[in-house]
Structure 1
Amino acid sequence: FNILGAPNDDRGMCVHFGVVFTQCAVALGYNARHIIINHHFIAEVWSDELKKWICMDAGPAGGVNSSRNMHFELNGQPLNTLEVHRAYRDGKQDQVMLVATNPDDCKPMGDWAENFCRFFIPMRNNYIDVPRPAEDGHGCAQYHYDGYLHHENSLTDLRSPEYSLQTARPHDLYWSLNQAELHPHATDDPAVIDMHIATVTPNFKYFEIKRDDGDWIPHPAAHVWHHPHAGSSDRFMDFVPKQAVHRAGQYTWRLHPGQNTLAVRPTNAFNHKGIISQITVENSA
C-alpha cells in the first residue's frame, strides 16, 4: 500500500512511518536514526544549528497524535529522547509540549511521557541497503532482537536481560555529529602544539583548517575507527554503515608571538560544511 497515505486508512504502524521518515531524512542529506521507546518506534534527526539530536515522532502514537507528526519542546527548545526521559524522571512531563502539524494536537505531554521511561537505539540506519538482521514482525508485539544499545537507568526496575548491549553513559547514545573535537598536546618546543582532531561526520571528506584570519585549507584525516559500541562485537560490524565512524587527524600548529586562533570544521562528500570548533592560545614568547 501507499505508506504515506496509510494513516488515513488506519493501516500500518509506528515502525513503518518511523523508518520511512528516517530514510527520507537521510536521502535528503540529514543525519537521522531510529529510536525505540516503550512499545513505540520514533526517530531523531541531527541539527547542526542546535548542535543536538531532535526527537521526531512520525506516529501514530496510540491516539495521542492524529496528525502523525510531532516533536517535543521544553521552554521552547526541541528535545531529544534522553531529554524527554529526564523531564519525565524529574516530574516535568506537564511542562513538555507536544508540537504537532495539527494545532489541536499541541498540548502538554502529561502521562504519555511515561513511554520514555526506557529507550534503546538500533546500531545502524541503513535498512534500505541492508534489510537484515532486524526485528521479526517489525516489533508489532515486542522488541526481542539483540541488536540495540539499551539505555540503563533508574526508572526501569530491572535490567532488560534480553539486551546484551546496555549503557548508563549518555555519550554512548548521544555523540556530536559534523563537528571537530580539538585535543591540544604540548611538544618539546613551546611554540608548537600537536593538535589531534576527531569527528563523527557521515560521508566525511576532509577537515578544513583556518589559522587566524586566513583562508580555509583542506586537511585530510589519517585514522578511521568505529563508534565503540558499534564495533564492540564482530556480529555488528558487517551491518554498521561505513560512514558512521570516527575520523581522526593531526595538525602541527606553529604559534607566532601574541594571540593565535585555530578553527577547524569537517566537510562531507556533498561539500556540506560542519560546525566550527575554535581554540585560541596566547604565545608570550
Structure 2
Amino acid sequence: MKDIVFDDFRNWMCDRFINSQSRRAAKLSPTYLLTHESGIVGDVINQIDRTVWSKSLFDLYSDRIKGAELLFYVNDYKKTQTHPMKLIINGSTIVHRQDPNRMLTGGWDRRRINAKYLKKGKNEFVFAQNGILFVDPHAEGVAESKYSHSERSFDAGANWHTDALGEEFDVRGEYLVRLRVNGFPHQGTMTSPAIDLADHKNSGKIISRFSIKSVQLSGDLEKPTGTTILFETRSGSTPSFNPRKWSPWQPGTRIKTPGRFLQIRVFLKTKFADKTPIIKKLNLTIHTEQLPKPNELIELIESDQPEFIYSSYSFAYLQPHLRLDRLRKQYCLDDVIASGKTEIEQLALLRDWVHSQWLGWQSDKYPYCPPWDPLEILGTTKGNWGFGMCTHYGATFAGCASALGWVSRVLIVDHHCLAEVWYETGQKWILQDAGPCREYDANYEINGEPINALELHYALNLDEVDKVMSNKLPQKVIEPMDRYVETFCRFGIPLRNNHLTHAEPAELDHGYRQYHYDGYLWWSDNPNPKYSEYSLQTSRPGDFYWSINQTRIFTKVANKLGMLHLHFEHNMPNFSYFSVDIKGKQIEKTDSIELMWELDMGINELCVRAVNMFGRKGRVARIVVNYNK
C-alpha cells in the first residue's frame, strides 16, 4: 500500500470557474461573467434617446453577491461623458456618465452595480435617454432564431420588441452587454493530469510486474452549508487517454482494479454566491500486489525526458490541406528560410519576408479588412484590394510558419497583434513580431534569450523593461525595446491556428475597432480580472504555454526475460510517427505507442522522438539501462 498526496493544484486543468493558482488550495473563482453573445460582429449600432430605449436581461442563480459590473461595448463613443445615460435596473434609476479612466483601452464602458439593485432570477437592465449599444446579430435565419435576451422600445419602455434591433429595425440578436458578477459561480470543474500510479513523480524508473487491486480517494475538504464536492475517476493502461484502453468517467472515490494510469475529475458546486467549497488536499491510497520478480536485474542508469505541461483549453491546430500546400509553394516559403543556419535565423527570415510583403495599413486605398487567412491577406494586400494592419502581419506569419511545419499562433496585445511560435531549440513559445512599423520586425529577448508574451508582461509589471531587447535578425541589429512595451499590459490568443482552412469562429474585422469578441483566451494576473469584459480568462501559465512536440517513455519489466515493455506518450500536433534509435542507430519508424525492447547484456540506450506530418522532428527522450542476469 502507498499514498499519493496532492496539496498543490496549479498543474491541474481547470475551467474558468475554478481558482487554483492563488494559494495551495482549489475553490470557486471570486467572480464570473454572464453574456448572451460572442461579439462576432461589432458594427451594428442602436441609438438610444428619450423614447428609444434598449434592454438586456440576465439571470442570477443567487442574490447573495457583493455586487456586479455592467459592461457594454461602445467602441470610441464618448458623448455620454457630457450627456449622461440613464440605467434603469429592476426599476431603479442610476445616472451614468462615462468615465474615461475606467474605460481602460478596450472600448467597453462599465458601471459598478450595488448588490441592492440585483435579485435572484431575472434582472432587467434598461439603457435610456442617451448613448448607443452595439448588436451581435443571430447567425441563424428566422426559422432557427434563438431566444433573445435583448429588447428594444420605441415608446420609452411602454412596449418592448425582440426583433427590431439595428438601424432598420429588422435585426434579431443580442446587445454587446455583459455582466461581471462579484460572487462565486454555481459550479466549476477541475481535472488532474494522468497519474502514473506506479511512478507518480514521473521519475522514469523501471516498473516491476505488479497488480493494482484498488484505489481509494480521500481529502481535506471544506464544504460550507449549501456546497458540495463530487468526484469522478477514469483509468487505463496507456499514459494518455485512449477510449479503447480507458474506462469511462465513473462517479465515486473508490476504484477497483484500475489500470496503471488514472485521472481525477472534481466538481465544486454551491447554491449561494457567497459560499465556496475548498479542496486543501487530496490523498490517493493505492493497494497493490507485487508479482514474482524474474531472476534478472534491469537498472535505470539515466533518463532524459520532459515533464508535459497541459492547457485547460483545447486548441484547433492547422492540419495538412491543399490550401496549405498552395501557400507553401506559391510563395516559395522553403526558399525564404533556406539560408538560415539555425532555427532562430529561419524564423527571422520568414518574419522579415512577411514584414516586406506590403506597406502598412493602406486603408485609404481600399477599405476592406480581410480575415486571418494568409492566402487572402497576401492576395488582397498585393493587389491593393484591401488593407493589412498588424493583425494581418501576425496572422500571415503564423499561417506561413505553420505551413512550414512549426506550430505558431496569433497573439493579441493592447492595440497590437503579432505571433508566437513553438521554438524547438529552446523548448518554449517565443514572440515573433512581423510589423507593420519599422520598430517591429523583431523577436524580443532578455539576456540574449527569446521570450514570450508572459515573460514580457512580467518584465513590464516589475518595471524591468530596460532588460527587454529587440533583436532584428536578419539585419543583425539589437536595440532596447523602448517603444510599445506598454501594449503587453494584456494579451490573449485565439484557441486555434487553422484560419487558412476555417474562416470561423472569428471576430469580423478584428483590430479595425476595439476588441469585442468573446472567443479569445486572455491572461489575467489574478482571479478577479482587470479587463472584466471577457469570459475566458486565466492566471494559470500552462493554459497559455502548454508544451508540444515532446515524447515521454514509460517502462515496465516484461514477462519475457531480457525485455522491457515500453509505452510512448507524445504531445505533437499532426503526429505522424515515432523515430526510435537504439545505441545510436535508427531501428524503427512506428506509429504505435508500445514497443517491446530486447536488451543486450550490459549498457543499453534508447532514444525516441515524435515526427509530425510535415517532417519536423520533436524533442528526443532518452533512457539508458544496465541489464544483467
1:17 aligns to 2:393 (yes or no): yes
User: 1:200 deviation in Å?
Assistant: 2.8
Partner of 1:5: 358
Partner of 2:548: 177
**Corresponding letter in the other structure for 2:499:** Y
- Partner of 1:6, secondary structure, is coil
Contact kept in structure 2, 1:38 and 1:118, CA below 8 Å: yes
Q: Which has the larger Rg?
A: 2
Partner of 1:53: 429
**Corresponding letter in the other structure for 2:574:** N
1:264 aligns to 2:617 (yes or no): no
Q: Structure 2: give runs of 5+ residues left out of the alignment.
A: 1-355, 364-386
Distance 1:79 1:108 in 2: 14
Which structure: greater helix fraction? Answer: 1
Q: 1:146 to 1:50 in 2, by over 3 A?
A: same
Q: What does 1:27-38 align with in structure 2 at a 5 Å threshold?
A: 27-38=403-414
Q: 1:209 to 1:150 in 2, by over 3 A?
A: same
- Partner of 2:578, secondary structure, is strand
User: 1:37 deviation in Å?
Assistant: 1.6
User: 1:117 deviation in Å?
Assistant: 2.9
User: 1:130 deviation in Å?
Assistant: 0.8
1:132 aligns to 2:504 (yes or no): yes
Q: 1:284 to 1:168 in 2, by over 3 A?
A: farther
Q: 1:50 to 1:186 in 2, by over 3 A?
A: same
Q: 1:37 to 1:282 in 2, by over 3 A?
A: farther
Contact kept in structure 2, 1:85 and 1:116, CA below 8 Å: yes
Q: 1:273 to 1:159 in 2, by over 3 A?
A: same
1:220 aligns to 2:591 (yes or no): yes
Distance 2:475 2:617 in 1: 35
**Corresponding letter in the other structure for 2:431:** C
Partner of 1:236: none
Give the paired residue count.
251
Distance 2:417 2:404 in 1: 21
Q: 1:163 to 1:9 in 2, by over 3 A?
A: closer
Partner of 1:72: 444
Distance 1:136 1:18 in 2: 16
User: Cα RMSD between the aligned structures?
Assistant: 3.1
After superposition, the C-alpha distances for 1:224-275 in whole angstroms (9 at most, x for unaligned) are xxxxxxxxxxxxxxxxxxxxxxxxx233344444322221011222333332
Which structure has more relative contact order (CA 8 Å, sep 6+)? It is 2
After superposition, the C-alpha distances for 1:183-210 in whole angstroms (9 at most, x for unaligned) are 3456678965443322232332111112
Distance 1:283 1:167 in 2: 47
Q: What does 1:35-114 align with in structure 2 at a 5 Å threshold?
A: 35-60=411-436, 65-66=437-438, 68-100=440-472, 106-110=478-482, 112-114=484-486
- Partner of 2:457, secondary structure, is helix
Contact kept in structure 2, 1:67 and 1:101, CA below 8 Å: no
Distance 2:626 2:468 in 1: 44
- Partner of 2:396, secondary structure, is helix
Distance 1:176 1:163 in 2: 25
* Segment drifting more, 197-206 vs 6-15: 6-15
Per the normalisation by structure 1, the TM-score is 0.74
Per the normalisation by structure 2, the TM-score is 0.36
1:273 aligns to 2:623 (yes or no): no
After superposition, the C-alpha distances for 1:73-115 in whole angstroms (9 at most, x for unaligned) are 1111111222222322333210111123697985322473332
User: 1:67 deviation in Å?
Assistant: 5.3
Partner of 1:148: 520
Q: 1:89 to 1:184 in 2, by over 3 A?
A: farther
Distance 2:542 2:522 in 1: 13
- Partner of 1:23, secondary structure, is helix
